[in-house]
């Protein structure tokens, strides 16, 4: 297990990028690049991490970095990987694809599926801030039940987003990807280990990282890491990995009340009004069910939903 | 100094097979493609050739055309000489990526097996697919035959990769008519091709030792300058096309041009066209000229950058210009080709009448008899408005 | 002599395709003027745990020779993560004047 002091001091990301103060994605990008020993090529889909870090003539990246369009990061990465592998008789760099939840769960799903199916050697890191944050906090299929977003606003006819968060891990597993994991930057050692494991895999690997967003989730900028921790501790975002189809729980915390996590964020504040009690219960039930499901999968059981 | 050209050995091939052969002779090392009629044979033949081994090329079977061109962009940025092919809906699906490719200055060559666009669904040849993306910043050449399709793959790479240009290039091939018809082809030996086309130099390719950021945001204070760069590259493409076609002509004896004029001197009625129908038009014009009828024709090869001055110069004698085109620009006074012709003639002292004849849509045949009728009708005295659009052979 | 603003480069001088060939050129963009409060380090309380350095999104926290940290006010956006996560409360946030 790596110690903080052992992490490379060379900064391969930033400073000077125009991400918001306290941005989770910024932290994820910086720590990811510190985790890898080999040279890195980054492919980034359109989104917060891309737009805020590369406004001509400024780039926050100290590594080769490619941005194409919103939905084709995985396809561009496929071309880079396949060509370099063939031209150099093997890959001399780690290929990392960064995509937000929007560019992964929704519009980027097809290209991701193709890249996973063809088994390109790359690590896909989805920094999940649970909405289309860069364009102004619109709902994605990663937005949790009941959350306020600008396209699932709260009103008499709507208590926020309706429907469960899509399961990205299950999607990746449908392609029999050898290594898939969830992560939180509050658990930095776990995250670094996962990034390194993913990079070692010959073939595709995917990491789904929760990326708290002060602006979109409506919390104070200093609370980013606290929320990244509470997300895991409240069972909202379980930390687990799946190696060759076998689930393994990485953290089994004593459960903190989900309310502690939800109350820190303005996007859920309406759920604590009496008229939205049912919606709050729906969200809680989902979190509970998801947590039990992951636990059972990790125990080798066959839970339904 | 002319090279001695050996007596050619003729090989029967369809346009698709010819393209596939040329792609690998051009030392393309990256191909990503998705099947769509009538491009499929190109892709299948390429798969065969790569599977046979020894090509040094990677062939990726991707999950859509959008990903096909995207993968090519990635490979091209990494230094590959990349190729893809598509048609119709597939090309349309690539649309946003076509702008990306040109903006990122990736000199990718794509064979487009021109086909009509849905709805209604039609798998046959017309030019509406490429016309729908004509402004994306790709150099566009329309060939007339399978031989041309073969020859243009090499020339396209040389032009696209020229450091004065560095733009992607589509070689447009009429769906079915060229892709699926067998011709007697003259192939060029690998040694000769190697003297014409060297491996790609990609000074800005992805290299961890020289980290570059590709595809950043350019805000209003910079965006215009980058578009001006692309515009310049497109302008530079025209003289580079001249140079390259000259070199290829010396290599093979087949000298291609931006434009293929026929009997334009003192021609009163001229038919302007793109693609394979031009061959039929030329054959009809030849026969009518034997009867001393003052007709001629002009085939446009290079559509982007459009050789406006040359077109204006060549058409200076015509009283009536019939633009026979296989694409529509719905809601406009004229179709895409006529639009270019009209613009080219704007500064001209003489104002000929222009008839934009929309025909051959969805693969409808334009037989010689119809073309003869067009010429003869054009020679009749008549009062027609200066610019007019008509559908050729539509059942009322 | 008038102080004329530096004109941005024209299309002929710019790298084609908007490629940025200077890695990390965002350093020219000083985000320090974003902040409304600034972190102040009380050195004596610092245990060199480096959590602040690890989690700074910019980074605006630099590791020093003696194993401690220093704050780079050129880039610090004043998010306050360092102050919140410091286990010994060696960093406190004060309002910018």
Domain ranges of chain A: 10-298
Other CB atoms within a 10 A radius of the CB of residue B39 amount to: 30
Position C1 scores a pLDDT of: 45
Query: What is the pLDDT, as a whole number, of residue B4?
Result: 65
Six token digits for residue B318: 């015509």
The answer, yes or no, to whether ipTM is higher than 0.85 is yes
* Lowest-pLDDT choice from A42-56, A128-142, B248-262, B346-360: B346-360
The alpha-carbon gap from A258 to the nearest alpha carbon of chain C, in Å, equals 21
pLDDT of residue A304: 84
Q: Binning pLDDT at 50, 70 and 90, where does residue B8 land?
A: low
Residues B216-231 have a mean pLDDT of 98
A241-263 mean pLDDT: 96
User: Subunits that touch chain C (at least 3 Cβ pairs < 8 angstroms)?
Assistant: A, B
How much of chain A, in percent, has pLDDT values that exceed 90? 96
Of the candidates A61, A76, A118, the beta carbon closest to that of B74 is on A76
3-state secondary structure chain A: CCCHHHCCCCCCECCCCCCCCCCHHHHHHHHHHHHCCCCEEEEECCCHHHHCCEECCEECECCCEEECCCCCHHHHHHHHHHHHHHHHCCCCCEEEEEEEHHHHHHCCHHHHHHHHHCCCCCEEEEEECCCECCCCCECCCCCCCCCCECCECEECCEECCCCCCCCHHHHHHCCCCCEEEEEECCCHHHHHHHHHHHHHCCCCEEEEEECCCHHHHCCCHHHHHHHHHHHHHCCCCCCEEEECCEEEECCCCCCCCHHHHHHCCHHHHHHHCHHHHHHHHHHHHHHHHHHHHHHHHHCCCCCCC
pLDDT at B384: 75
A35 in contact with chain C, both atoms CB, cutoff 8 A: no
What secondary structure does DSSP assign to C57-95, as a single string? SS--EEE-TTS-EEE-TTT-----HHHHH-TT--EEEEE
Residue-wise pLDDT tens digits, A156-202 = 999 999 999 999 999 999 999 999 999 999 999 999 999 999 999 99
| Average pLDDT, integer, range B144-154 | 98
Q: What are phi and psi of A173, to 5 degrees?
A: -65, -25
Say yes or no: B232 contacts chain C, CB-CB below 8 A. Answer: yes
**At CB < 8 A and 24+ separation, what contacts does B187-191 make?**
B187/B9, B187/B11, B187/B21, B187/B150, B188/B25, B188/B151, B188/B154, B188/B251, B188/B252, B190/B25
User: How close does chain C come to B98, measured CA to CA in Å?
Assistant: 14
Residues of chain C with pLDDT under 70: 1-5
Chain B residue numbers with beta carbons less than 8 Å from the beta carbon of A114 are: 62-64, 67
The pLDDT, as a whole number, for residue C97 is: 83
- What's the pLDDT score for residue B381? 87
The answer on pLDDT for A1 being more than 90 is no
C29-95 is a CATH 3.40.630.30 domain: no
Residue A67 and residue A46 in contact, taking contact as beta carbons nearer than 8 Å: yes
- Tell me whether C28 touches chain B (CB under 8 Å): no
- The number of C-beta contacts closer than 8 angstroms across A and B is 149
Q: What is the mean pLDDT of chain B?
A: 96
The mean pLDDT value for B314-325 works out to 95
For chain B, domains (ranges, CATH) are 10-252 (3.40.50.970), 259-391 (3.40.50.920)
Model-level pTM greater than 0.80?
Answer: yes
Average pLDDT over residues B143-159: 98
On whether any CB of chain B is under 8 Å from the CB of C1, the answer is no
Q: Is the pLDDT of residue B117 over 60?
A: yes
Task: Return the exposure string of A240-273: e unless at least 16 CB atoms fall within 10 Å of the residue's CB, then b.
Answer: bbbeeeebeebeeeeebebeebbebbebbebbee
Q: Look at residue B338 in the predicted model and tell me its pLDDT.
A: 98
Residue B394 has pLDDT above 80, yes or no: yes
Q: Which residues on chain C place their C-beta less than 8 Å from a C-beta of chain A?
A: 18, 20, 22-31, 34-35, 49-51, 53-60, 63, 67, 72, 74-75, 77-81, 83-85, 93
Q: Is the pLDDT of residue A215 over 60?
A: yes
B188's tokens: 């060029």
A64 touches chain B (CB under 8 A): yes
User: Residue B149 belongs to what H/E stretch?
Assistant: helix B146-161
pLDDT at B383: 74
- For the cut 80, the answer to whether the pLDDT of residue B96 exceeds it is yes
Q: Inter-chain contact A86–B56, Cβ cutoff 8 Å?
A: yes
Average pLDDT over residues B372-380: 96
* Chain B residue nearest residue A66, CA to CA: B214
Nearest-CA distance from A296 to chain C in Å? Answer: 33
Distance from CA of A112 to the nearest CA of B (A): 10
pLDDT in tens, B181-221: 999 999 999 999 999 999 999 999 999 999 999 999 999 99
Q: Stretch A225-235: mean pLDDT, rounded?
A: 98
B206 to A80: CB separation less than 8 angstroms, yes or no: yes
Query: Under CATH, domain A10-298 is a member of which superfamily?
Result: Thiamin diphosphate (ThDP)-binding fold, Pyr/PP domains (3.40.50.970)
Nearest-CB residue to C24 (from A22, A59, A222): A59
For B74-95, the pLDDT digits (tens) are 999 999 999 999 999 999 999 9
Nearest Cβ partner of A9 from C49, C63, C84? C63
Residue B321's pLDDT band, with cuts at 50, 70 and 90, is very high
Distance of alpha carbon B156 from alpha carbon B170, whole angstroms: 8
Q: Does the beta carbon of A86 lie under 8 angstroms from any beta carbon of chain B?
A: yes
Residues in C touching A188 (Cβ below 8 Å): 54-55
How far is Cα C25 from Cα A53, in angstroms, rounded to an integer? 10
Q: Give yes or no for a contact between B133 and B98, defined as CB atoms under 8 angstroms apart.
A: yes
d(Cα B204, Cα C16) in Å, to the nearest integer?
10
Nearest to C31 among A4, A15, A220 (CB): A15
Residue B64 is given by DSSP the state: S
φ, ψ for residue C40 (rounded to 5)?
A: -120, 130
Task: Tell me what the pLDDT averaged over chain A comes to.
Answer: 97
| Helix, coil or strand: residue B137 | coil
């Amino acid at each position: 297990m790596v110690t903080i002091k052992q992490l490379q001091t060379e900064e391969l990301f930033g400073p000077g990028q125009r991400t918001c103060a306290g941005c989770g994605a910024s932290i994820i990008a910086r720590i990811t690049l510190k985790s890898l020993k080999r040279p890195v090529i980054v492919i980034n889909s359109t989104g917060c991490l891309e737009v805020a870090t590369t406004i001509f003539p400024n780039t926050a990246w100290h590594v080769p970095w490619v941005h194409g369009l919103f939905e084709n990061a995985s396809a561009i990465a496929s071309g880079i990987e396949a060509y370099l592998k063939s031209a150099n008789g093997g890959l001399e760099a780690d290929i990392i694809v960064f995509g937000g939840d929007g560019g992964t769960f929704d519009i980027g799903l097809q290209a991701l599926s193709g890249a996973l199916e063809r088994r390109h050697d790359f690590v896909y890191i989805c920094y999940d801030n649970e909405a289309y944050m860069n364009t102004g906090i619109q709902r994605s299929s990663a937005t949790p039940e009941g959350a306020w977003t600008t396209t699932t606003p709260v009103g008499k006819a709507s208590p926020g987003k309706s429907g469960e968060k899509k399961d990205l891990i299950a999607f990746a597993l449908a392609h029999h990807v050898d290594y898939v994991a969830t992560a939180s930057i509050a658990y930095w050692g776990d995250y670094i280990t996962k990034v390194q494991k993913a990079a070692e895999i010959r073939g595709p690997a995917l990491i789904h990282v929760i990326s708290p967003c002060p602006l979109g989730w409506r919390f104070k900028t200093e609370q980013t890491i606290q929320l990244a921790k509470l997300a895991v501790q409240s069972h909202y975002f379980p930390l687990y990995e799946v190696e060759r189809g076998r689930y393994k729980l990485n953290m089994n915390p004593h459960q903190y009340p989900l309310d502690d996590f939800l109350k820190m964020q303005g996007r859920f504040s309406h759920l604590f009004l009496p008229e939205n009690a049912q919606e709050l219960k729906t969200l809680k039930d989902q979190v509970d069910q998801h947590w039990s499901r992951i636990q059972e999968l990790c125990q080798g059981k066959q839970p339904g939903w | 100094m002319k090279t001695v050209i050996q007596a050619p050995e003729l090989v029967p091939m369809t346009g698709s097979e010819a393209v596939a052969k040329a792609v690998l002779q051009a030392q393309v090392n990256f191909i990503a493609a998705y099947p769509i009629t009538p491009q499929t044979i190109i892709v299948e033949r390429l798969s065969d050739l790569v599977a046979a081994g020894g090509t040094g090329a990677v062939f990726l079977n991707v999950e859509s055309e959008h990903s096909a061109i995207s993968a090519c962009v990635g490979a091209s940025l990494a230094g590959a000489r990349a190729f893809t092919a598509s048609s119709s809906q597939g090309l349309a699906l690539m649309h946003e990526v076509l702008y990306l490719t040109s903006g990122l200055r990736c000199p990718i060559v794509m064979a487009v097996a021109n086909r009509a666009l849905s709805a209604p669904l039609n798998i046959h040849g017309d030019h509406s697919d490429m016309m729908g993306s004509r402004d994306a910043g790709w150099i566009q050449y329309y060939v007339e035959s399978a031989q041309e399709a073969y020859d243009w793959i090499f020339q396209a790479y040389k032009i696209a990769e020229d450091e004065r240009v560095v733009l992607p290039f589509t070689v447009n091939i009429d769906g079915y008519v060229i892709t699926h018809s067998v011709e007697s082809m003259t192939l060029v030996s690998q040694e000769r091709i190697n003297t014409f086309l060297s491996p790609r130099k990609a000074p800005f390719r992805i290299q961890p030792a020289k980290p570059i950021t590709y595809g950043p945001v350019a805000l209003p204070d910079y965006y215009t300058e980058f578009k001006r760069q692309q515009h310049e590259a497109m302008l530079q493409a025209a003289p580079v096309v001249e140079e390259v076609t000259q070199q290829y002509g010396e290599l093979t004896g087949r000298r291609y041009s931006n434009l293929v004029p026929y009997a334009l001197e003192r021609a009163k009625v001229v038919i302007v066209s793109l693609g394979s129908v031009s061959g039929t038009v030329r054959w009809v014009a030849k026969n009518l000229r034997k009867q001393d009828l003052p007709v001629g024709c002009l085939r446009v090869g290079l559509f982007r950058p459009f050789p406006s001055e040359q077109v204006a110069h060549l058409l200076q004698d015509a009283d009536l210009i019939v633009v026979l085109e296989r694409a529509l620009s719905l809601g406009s006074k004229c179709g895409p080709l006529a639009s270019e012709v009209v613009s080219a003639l704007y500064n001209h002292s003489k104002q000929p009448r222009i008839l934009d004849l929309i025909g051959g849509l969805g693969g409808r045949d334009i037989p010689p008899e119809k073309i003869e009728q067009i010429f003869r009708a054009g020679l009749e005295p008549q009062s027609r408005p200066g610019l007019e659009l008509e559908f050729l052979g539509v059942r009322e | 002599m008038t102080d004329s603003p530096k004109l941005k480069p024209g299309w002929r001088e710019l790298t084609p395709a908007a490629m940025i060939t200077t890695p990390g050129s965002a350093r020219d963009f000083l985000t320090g003027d974003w902040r409304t409060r600034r972190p102040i380090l009380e050195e004596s309380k610092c245990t060199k745990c480096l959590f602040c350095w690890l989690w700074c999104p910019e980074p605006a926290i630099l590791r020093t020779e003696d194993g401690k940290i220093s704050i780079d006010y050129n880039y610090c956006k004043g998010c306050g993560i360092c102050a919140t996560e410091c286990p010994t409360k060696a960093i406190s946030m004060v309002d910018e004047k």
